[in-house]
Amino acid sequence: MTATYTSTHPKPAPDWIYYFVRSLFSALVRLLIRVEVVGRENIPAGGAFLITTNHLSFFDAVLIFCFMPHRMVAFGADKWRRNPVVAQVCEMLGIIWVSRGEADADAIKATLAVLKSGGRLGMAPEGTRSRAAQLQPGKPGAAYLADRARVPILPVGQAGTEAVIKSWKQLRRPRVRLAIGAPFTLPGNGRAKGPQLDAFTEEIMCRIAALLPPEYRGVYADHPRLAALLAAPPQPAPAGAGG
């Protein structure tokens, strides 16, 4: 993966450090959390792709980091840079800092460089954590990046991560579910904007909603596209998938 390293896209650690830290995190997660992972066979075996997930808590990113077999880069809100420990770990593993609520041109440029050079990127299209543990309206960033970079999208639905801390406080081992859907591509030509970009965003969010229990689907619960996805027969995993 080639990229220009800036304050927005700090230079990450070598592969051996990345995978060593991931193995430590994975062991700790398995010890402290009961994790059910569904759909591993849908993970592309290689090449660039965009991971999109719902956002319930800090642990969403931790779970994807632990269970995604490929090295990846993720978006991180600028607020985490104020925590020196979190910031150091994030930058070591690969992060693109983004100013939430703004059109961050530097972050967009860095992200497209990652995807166009064959890398994997993880992001939450909602843009911010859902305090009600239900899907919020998606923002167009994920659709824009997938359209401009012409890469597949891997939808992920997470349930239970919002209750991890509460369960620990009650001295219980929490249960969480990570559902990985079939990758898909948007039908655009790399220049989508306006209504087409909005339609692409709806598609991404409905694909995530289809992986979630009904109580997590939020504003997309009654969306006609979600109904069509839930009624469709399961898709076979793409050739070469499975991580």
Q: Which residues contact 82 (CB under 8 A, 6 or more apart)?
A: none
N- to C-terminal Cα distance for the chain? 18
Ranges of residues in the chain whose predicted pLDDT is under 50: 1-2
15-231 maps to CATH 3.40.1130.10: yes
User: What is the structure's pLDDT at 8?
Assistant: 64
Domain boundaries, the chain: 15-231
Closest CA to 162 of 25, 24, 33: 33
Cα(14)–Cα(25) distance, integer angstroms: 17
Cα(148)–Cα(17) distance, integer angstroms: 31
Half-sphere exposure of residue 197: CA atoms within 13 angstroms, side-chain side: 16
User: What is the structure's pLDDT at 242?
Assistant: 67
User: What is the structure's pLDDT at 33?
Assistant: 97
- 215 by Cβ neighbours in 10 Å (0-12 / 13-18 / 19+) ranks as exposed
> Do 5 and 204 form a contact (C-beta atoms < 8 A)?
no
Question: Which SS3 state, helix, strand or coil, does residue 220 take?
Answer: helix
- With a threshold of 0.75, does the pTM exceed it? yes
- 184 by Cβ neighbours in 10 Å (0-12 / 13-18 / 19+) ranks as middle
